[in-house]
């Protein structure tokens, strides 16, 4: 199975900061990558798919980039409601190969 490695595992930031989270795949996955946001006690929310396509209703301060093995999620101006844990997910060769998630990045208030 393809392994997804996120970094950092956690970070502290202030409202208004620009935040970047990275995700690395153990093999090339083209642009078959999604990003989710999860708040405590809640289900994940899809933010981005196809590495850079914003899901309907997601604020434009969220953006994604990358292809192959290296990807980034950027929050351009952190808002209070953005403090959460973020996960990447690859879907290369879906559905015959397992979908796999990164370990998560927790964005905390500084």
Backbone phi, psi, residue 14, to 5°: -110, 155
Stretch that binds other proteins, among 11-19, 47-55, 59-67, 70-78 (CB under 8 A): 47-55
From candidates 2, 19, 62, 102, binder to other proteins by CB under 8 A: 102
From candidates 32, 37, 66, 82, binder to other proteins by CB under 8 A: 32
Say whether residue 68 binds other proteins (CB under 8 A): no
CA nearest neighbour of 47 among 12, 70, 71? 71
Q: How far is the CB of 99 from other proteins (least distance, A)?
A: 4
């Amino acid at each position: 199975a393809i392994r997804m490695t996120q970094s950092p595992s956690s970070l502290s930031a202030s409202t208004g900061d620009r935040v970047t989270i990275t995700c690395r795949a153990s093999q090339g996955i083209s642009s078959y990558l999604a990003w989710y946001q999860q708040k405590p006690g809640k289900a994940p929310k899809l933010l981005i798919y196809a590495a850079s396509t914003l899901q309907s209703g997601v604020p434009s301060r969220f953006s994604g980039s990358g292809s192959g093995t290296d990807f980034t999620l950027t929050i351009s101006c952190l808002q209070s409601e953005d403090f959460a844990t973020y996960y990447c997910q690859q879907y290369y060769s879906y559905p015959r190969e397992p979908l796999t998630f990164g370990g998560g990045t927790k964005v905390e208030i500084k």
